[in-house]
Structure 1
Amino acid sequence: MDVKEIFIEDASLPKTILPAVKRPLFWASPWELAHLSPPEAFPPLIFPEPDLLDGLVSLFFARVNIVLCLLHRPTFEKALASGLHLVDHQFGSTVLAVCAVASKYSDDPRVLLEGTNTRLSSGWKYFCQLEPFKKALMRSFTLHEAQTLCLAVFYLQGSSAPDGCWSLGGAGVRYAQEVGVHRRNRYDDRLIDEQWKRVFWILICIDTYSSTFCGRPRATSFDDYDVDYPAECDDEYWETSDPDMAFKQPPGRPSVISYTIAHLKLMEILGMAQKTIYMVRQKDKPREWLESTVINLDSTLNAWIDMIPNHLRWDPNMEDPIFATQSAVLYATYYHVQIQVHRIFLVSPGPPGSEPIQCPMSYNYPSLAICASSARACSHVMDVASRRGFLCDPHILNAVFDSCLIILLNVWAGRQVGLAVDPQKCLQDVEMCLRIFRTYESRWQIAGRQHDIITELMSATNMEIEYSPNPLKRGLDHDPEPSTSDSSPESDSQPVTEDEALEPGGQPFLGADASVFNMDPPLSLPMYTEDLGRLPVYEPINWGINWGKDP
């Protein structure tokens, strides 16, 4: 259109004076439209009872959206209150996706699949009504479809089919690029533009995480988009009575979205690692190039840890449950990225020209130390979060799983690098990871699967571990019986309210003895790569040391 305005003398003239040049035969062949863009069927959607729907929506914004940062709450709740979900199938699907995800955090038995009494089925009856992968080829992706797809991936991450997130997320990236939201300032309406920015960045996270999890290529990279980060402004300040104050966070008030910006920057660092040290043709590069690349990544990670806002810096006794949850996710993800960057150096290659199977495996001590310290720090962060009842999203369990594998590798590889190994001390850290999986496996299949894999590995290597009591009651052992026609769901159960969700331990599932909240002395984590590399690998970490720079 810009080129058109340059060459047309008066671009303001009515378009009707220009001759029509689009010949229908070449622009809309009926036989192609009939196959590529058939009439779309919209089956009726079945929503939860009104009180349960309200409770699940509140639970979603209290527990999920604080780490997902996908939906603009005032816009969503306004549309829901108007009944749009009853007449607009696409928005109705978004509402059901919200219900499905929130059900994983709810103890209301009405969210269970009829005929089951396991909490693993929570939300499935809402999820199975969704069709996030069904879009006519001849029309563009809509905002509500994009939001539904993101929520569907979030739900599937904790299921027994997490591999599907890679293809579904990749398709979402392509659909978003088709709309053009990967470019800066796509829409003049900032309210719409900001919602699309949130969607696109969530798709970037999905693409990055799922590619790391599956060991497959990404659908896009940081060279392919220039869209700005979401506005660092809480939802309630998007629209104000004073237009000049719109999208402006009040001074001195920490923003919930600060976590999102920090998390996205961390994802871009992980994306840089994927595109450099993990590219398929990386083996063609000299080792000096690889080492230089990792040094640059370390520098970027150290800069990232310095820019974390004060209200998100690690404190196991942080009182605000929202910021405490966000902080736990940030730091666990940070240590996971440290592992991803340095694990490529864990195993040293054999002599040139030798067959790998003919050479004994050798281990790189500095990388082993960095990965081991990161793994132990990550498992510690998640252990504190699980004990305090801050249930994080399922993708973070992959960080715990990789951490557990690294700790086991330390046990197996320790003697090869000349260290006096005390397996029992390391197995205490492994048991911590297994305890985290047992806490979450009552809701998410992926946690149970990861627990089984670690247990099988230990069994295959003749390792034994003595289980300690779980800090939280396993919901699987206390599942309610499904509602029957003889009882009234409304009278037998009440949905979890937002106030209960925000209170640490407020939900029955997350309830824990109050003593676990008093964690003295205050714990400090090693922050910089240098700190991680100098920790004793096989000795208990002194979490009271003031690692890193002085404040």
Structure 2
Amino acid sequence: MPDGCCSHCSDFGLVCTYVQPQRKRGPKNITIEELSKENASLKAENTSLKVKLLSLSLCSLCSRPLQSLSAQANSSSVFHRSTPESATTPPSPESPEEPPDEQDFTGDDLAERFGSFSIDSLKTKHFGSASTFALANNTLAMKENFLGRPLLIQSRRPLYWDVLPWEKEASNQGSDHVLKFPATDLIAALLDLYFTNVHPTIPILHRPSFERSVAEDLHWRDVEFGALVLSVLAIASRYSHDPRVFLDGEGSLSAGWKFAKQVLTIRQLSEPTIHKVQMYLLLTLYALGTSVPQLSWLFLGVGIRCLQQHGEFRRKPGAHKPAPEEEVWKRAFWSYVVLDRTNCVFLGRPMGLQVEDYDVDFPLEVDDEYWDWGFTQPLGKPSHMSYLVLHVRLCEILGGAMRRLYSSKKAKILMGWDGPEWEQHAVAELDSAMNDYVDSIPPHLRWDPQNLPQGTFFDQSAILHITYNHILIVIHRPYIQKNERPKGPVAFHLCTGGTRHHSHREYVVL
């Protein structure tokens, strides 16, 4: 600056106040060597603190000893848990074994950790990696590893460890509910109608064990199984002309209501069982045929929560032989997947089970009558269970179409599913998946007007192909009103063609 004055002050004739000379940056106050020493000191202190923390007493929940609790079979179950000897069979080629997530725990695992935890139903719950129980389990394992021995029993306060009396009363509420069943001959007739008309397409039950339990009058002793039986009777009533299934003075629209309304009045807070899960799915089916079909979405949601609480959305770790109880749970889960997709597209509501949330194996393609034969389907005899696997695969395509084409704008942006080019790519992928699916249908379920399937396979084939054409409409429906070529005309052509095929198959079935 000339004369020690900046240009601004010189132009305006002012006394310049910018007189402090510019100084060069000096050396840093702390050297790299000093920082390294400080960092090493902090690391040492951190390690010391960790050791001290591990040696301290943890919360009483984490201080329980390792105890082995024997599994308690459900009193109403007709199946037995598989024995330790059954864990020797390698997995099937269709379901290769994968290492389970390290942080996922079943109720049995945590029950062994927290042996004194007094809630009996703890073992029926599933705890994921984000749960507090998983954190406590890891903390306990770390402390035991550090000490080199199991933790000693410490005192606990029953007030905070035991289930409180009024909470026990709430969980048992409904167990003494008195159910009214029809005459024995009507029960037998309705069960036959159910297993003839409903079971082939929604195989959530195992017929031999279910009929055996009914013959043993379990529905009179177990309220949950009784509610399941009433749900079966309610649905079967839709196929019956017996006046005893109608309300007094009412017509066929009231079929089964006298059975269904008893189930709706049960308020039980007990843990989910297979009977309860099956009951909610059957209530979903029944509600779809009422004047308030939106109730089906609520029943479906409750059933899905029961499945998740029981951990049935995750693959069982390790290799093991098939077990009847496990197969029934798998049938229930995949039946919920099918209804979740079809019901949500019917109501236009979000799905409760996303494909990334589960990794369950498909049910074995073995008919009910061969479960006692080591789960071996006779060679050359197609299984009726092949239909369920095919239906699941088809409904997963439907779920993908709903998420990719009908999600909110926000969801599409977050997932990178936005823009016309992406939509064209998504529709092309879905069309390709549909074409691959048609090619994979086995001969006994293919729809050939000149050689239609017979018996149960006819009903299964009809539902698969009707669902297939409905999904084609779902995929291309958003583009019917778009004028740009070729998207609009092609979408219109595919939708009208799917409607014609859909109507033709329904006409043949009816």
TM-score, normalised by the number of residues in structure 1: 0.61
Contact in 2 for aligned 1:347/1:363 (Cα 8 Å): no
- Gap change, CA 1:291 and 1:24, over 3 Å in 2: farther
SS at match of 1:276: helix
The separation in 2 between residues aligned to 1:188 and 1:160, in whole angstroms, is 45
Cα distance, 1:25 vs. partner? 3.4
Contact in 2 for aligned 1:133/1:168 (Cα 8 Å): no
Cα distance, 1:21 vs. partner? 6.7
Contact in 2 for aligned 1:198/1:230 (Cα 8 Å): yes
1:287 is matched with which residue? 420
Contact in 1 for aligned 2:172/2:268 (Cα 8 Å): no
Please, which runs of 5 or more residues in structure 1 have no aligned partner? Answer: 241-245, 351-361, 387-551
Cα distance, 1:115 vs. partner? 2.5
The separation in 1 between residues aligned to 2:258 and 2:196, in whole angstroms, is 22
2:279 is matched with which residue? 148
Cα distance, 1:251 vs. partner? 0.7
Residue identity (%) = 38
2:66 is matched with which residue? none
Whether 1:269 aligns to 2:390 is no
Please, which runs of 5 or more residues in structure 2 have no aligned partner? Answer: 1-108, 111-137
For residues 155-202 of structure 1, what are the alpha-carbon distances to aligned partners after superposition, in whole Å with 9 as ceiling and x for unaligned? 111111111111221221112101101111279872111111111112
The one-letter amino acid paired with 2:348 is G
The separation in 1 between residues aligned to 2:152 and 2:325, in whole angstroms, is 32
1:184 is matched with which residue? 315
Contact in 1 for aligned 2:177/2:266 (Cα 8 Å): no
The one-letter amino acid paired with 1:143 is I
Whether 1:383 aligns to 2:502 is no
Contact in 2 for aligned 1:230/1:261 (Cα 8 Å): yes
Write out aligned runs for 1:207-286 (5 A).
Answer: 207-240=340-373, 246-281=374-409, 284=413, 285-286=418-419
Write out aligned runs for 1:364-443 (5 A).
Answer: 364-386=488-510
The separation in 2 between residues aligned to 1:21 and 1:146, in whole angstroms, is 38
Cα distance, 1:48 vs. partner? 1.5
Cα distance, 1:42 vs. partner? 3.1
SS at match of 1:67: coil
Contact in 2 for aligned 1:133/1:149 (Cα 8 Å): no
Query: Which entry has the higher C-alpha Rg, 1 or 2?
Result: 2
Cα distance, 1:252 vs. partner? 0.2
Contact in 2 for aligned 1:100/1:124 (Cα 8 Å): yes
The one-letter amino acid paired with 1:108 is D
SS at match of 2:264: coil
Contact in 2 for aligned 1:132/1:148 (Cα 8 Å): no
SS at match of 1:252: coil
The separation in 2 between residues aligned to 1:68 and 1:349, in whole angstroms, is 41
Write out aligned runs for 1:392-541 (5 A).
Answer: none
The separation in 1 between residues aligned to 2:289 and 2:338, in whole angstroms, is 16
Write out aligned runs for 1:300-311 (5 A).
Answer: 300-311=433-444
SS at match of 2:502: helix
Contact in 2 for aligned 1:132/1:149 (Cα 8 Å): no
2:475 is matched with which residue? 341
The one-letter amino acid paired with 1:74 is P
1:78 is matched with which residue? 212
2:193 is matched with which residue? 59
2:10 is matched with which residue? none
Relative contact order higher in (CA < 8 Å, ≥ 6 apart)? 1
Contact in 1 for aligned 2:453/2:461 (Cα 8 Å): no
Whether 1:320 aligns to 2:320 is no
The separation in 2 between residues aligned to 1:38 and 1:81, in whole angstroms, is 26
Contact in 1 for aligned 2:187/2:233 (Cα 8 Å): yes
- Gap change, CA 1:254 and 1:5, over 3 Å in 2: farther
How many equivalent pairs are there?
A: 362
The separation in 2 between residues aligned to 1:28 and 1:44, in whole angstroms, is 29
Cα distance, 1:5 vs. partner? 7.6
The separation in 2 between residues aligned to 1:189 and 1:90, in whole angstroms, is 25
Contact in 1 for aligned 2:446/2:453 (Cα 8 Å): no
Cα distance, 1:109 vs. partner? 1.6
RMSD between aligned alpha carbons?
Answer: 2.7
The separation in 2 between residues aligned to 1:145 and 1:379, in whole angstroms, is 36
- Gap change, CA 1:86 and 1:120, over 3 Å in 2: same
1:332 is matched with which residue? 466
Contact in 2 for aligned 1:314/1:328 (Cα 8 Å): yes
Contact in 1 for aligned 2:205/2:328 (Cα 8 Å): yes
- Gap change, CA 1:258 and 1:34, over 3 Å in 2: closer
Cα distance, 1:128 vs. partner? 0.8
Q: Pick the aligned partner of 1:123 from 242, 250, 256.
A: 256
Q: Pick the aligned partner of 1:198 from 331, 340, 361.
A: 331
- Gap change, CA 1:7 and 1:231, over 3 Å in 2: farther
Cα distance, 1:81 vs. partner? 1.0
Cα distance, 1:276 vs. partner? 1.1
Contact in 1 for aligned 2:470/2:502 (Cα 8 Å): yes
Write out aligned runs for 1:19-38 (5 A).
Answer: 19-20=153-154, 23-28=157-162, 30=164, 33=167, 37=171
The separation in 1 between residues aligned to 2:392 and 2:265, in whole angstroms, is 24
SS at match of 1:156: helix
2:241 is matched with which residue? 107
SS at match of 1:171: helix
SS at match of 1:238: helix
For residues 490-547 of structure 1, what are the alpha-carbon distances to aligned partners after superposition, in whole Å with 9 as ceiling and x for unaligned? xxxxxxxxxxxxxxxxxxxxxxxxxxxxxxxxxxxxxxxxxxxxxxxxxxxxxxxxxx
1:525 is matched with which residue? none
Cα distance, 1:228 vs. partner? 1.1
